[in-house]
Amino acid sequence: MDSERLFDAVRTQSGDTEFYLPLPSGYQLGSTKFVVVFGTVMSGLGKGIFSSSLAKCLQDKGLTVAPIKLEGYLNIDSGTLNPFRHGEVFVLDDGTETDMDLGTYERALNLNLTRLNFATSGQIYRRVLERERTGGYLGRDVQMIPHVTGEIKNRLRELALASKADVVFVEIGGTVGDVENAHYIEAMRQLAFEEGQRSVCFVALTFILEPSILGEQKSKAAQLGIRRLLECGVQPHIIACRAQTPVTRKVREKIALFSNVAPERVFSMHDCESVYLIPELLRGAGYDKAVMEWLELESKVEETVEREAREEWLNYLNQRRSANREVRVGITGKYTSVRDAYASILKALEHAGTYLGCKVDVDWVDTSELTDAKAAETLKDIHAIIVPGAFGTRGADGKIACLKCARTTGLPALGICYGFQMAVIEFARNVCGMEDANSTEIDNECRYPVINLLPEQKKIEGLGGTMRLGGQDIVVKEGTLAQRMFGSRARMRFRHRYEVDPRYIPQLEFGGMVFAGRSPRAEIMNLLELPATMHPYYVGTQAHPELTSRPLDPNPLFVGLVHAALRRKYGTDQVASLVFPRERSDADDDESSAGSSSPQSVSRA
């Protein structure tokens, strides 16, 4: 049965058909191409990095791409997941709390994603049950097939319609063979059947073992992993072989024979020194060409666009390679044993370092047992610190100790979310004389609750709605460092419950703290800084600026921190004054306008 006849059969929703095909209004089968990435052998192979890099290769050709991550867990979102178990929670502009892979996609593709780009089994099941309760299945018994799989396909098509994408990239979380992902794999098999030939490209990411005791690459685990995929009715069209070293021709031929995939579409994806090199590695190997050929998209390639995009990316890579200075930045938190808990912060530091032509090395500082005396000793060889976000009481005193050390010694510091709140507490205690200052999250009976739930939040506490999530506009105060960074307004993403209590703002400002950014409609403090006469760089934000940093557009808060670290290490006479990205862009626009009256092209990432 072809796609049109299938749709006609289902349109009636009669009891005579076993198909269930809910199509979004306006969607046409076969109108969008799909690339589906599966993982085999084991998790942690880098499906998100691979998928986003491959999507960038197609985006650079002038195609519109849209990614979606399908997670097997039953949580509605990632908001309640412990960083020790699942890494950081990445917050989208619309407030959706997602898996950290969404950050990988946003940075690689320079896109602001939405809830449509992320789905969990919990979301899918909830939609099925809600539809069943409202009579949406016309008396049918609701089953995994076709109803759950139908909702999965519906999510992909909703994204395709909303994004108007030429290609939707689908990443299946976990590994083939996981029970919780079986319905996703079955849905992808059905998707290829319904969308028609050459509409879906299946890519299997596998792993080639290299036991040191044997001294050769072994492909048996990869073969068995691909067999699991074949058993599910999914024939991969491309196989990417992860390995420490380039996968040999012999191994690739063996996998090709076992999996029914042409040898020229079995590729090596071996380790390289930086994830930023992967797009070029994929192009060099021919991944993008193989996908374009299979999906019959060659006619949509815009060679001029691709040339300009590649040139811009290669310039970025060259800038990274030419970095000739180095600074050490301490991340002072309580999840330091799990690097993925601060994945976006690490990337933001890389972006800032590249912008300034330096390498940023990270020192991990566990604040769980840190005291004032220990903080000074621990931070003595560090050139700047970041006090990141968190929840709860553990490690709070250690963070306050680090901030006190930074404020009193001139060590550049950036407080993020919880770190912003700890900076307010430290300043209230040690500068403004409020010795018992604290957050009601830590001590509900403290005398000076400088960090508190705001009244309007307390009213909805019983509904579980106290978290302030997603993108918010910030009004920036004139004459501040923040104004140099952002101009008169900024937009950043938030994930927090507690705020600076407005009752104590006058005392804090009298002590010298500058609240440089506020919410447009409420007395919510979003940015703080100390003036240059008090400190070279002491800045905090209630937001999470790391979530919006991009390789070609670094977040200015991190740029300012790394620049201050450079000056601390090399001296102000050896490091030029800082021009922030916004200031540089304004200068470039003025220069371009002076030399030509024609419109300027928009920079792509």
Which residues participate in catalysis according to the annotation?
417, 544, 546
Q: What is residue 21's three-state secondary structure? A: coil
The sign of the torsion formed by the CA atoms of 20, 26, 31, 36 equals negative
* Nearest one of 295, 302, 299, 298 to 30, comparing CA atoms: 295
- What DSSP state is assigned to residue 523? -
Q: Give the integer Cα–Cα distance in Å for 83 and 253.
A: 40
Give the largest Cα separation in the chain, rounded. Answer: 81
Neighbour tally for 125: CB within 10 Å: 15
Q: Show Cβ contacts of residue 185 under 8 Å, excluding neighbours closer than 6 positions.
A: 38, 172, 176, 229, 232, 234
Neighbour tally for 28: CB within 10 Å: 13
3-state secondary structure 248-316: CHHHHHHHHHHHCCCHHHEEEEECCCCHHHHHHHHHHHCHHHHHHHHHCCHHHCCHHHHHHHHHHHHHH
List residues bridging with 69 in a β-sheet: 118, 171
Q: Give the integer Cα–Cα distance in Å for 93 and 493.
A: 6
CA 167, distance to chain mean position in Å, is 20
Token pair, residue 218, equals 């072994």
Token pair, residue 329, equals 């930045």
- What distances in angstroms separate CA 2 from CA 6, 10, 191, 193, 194, one per listed residue? 6, 12, 13, 9, 7
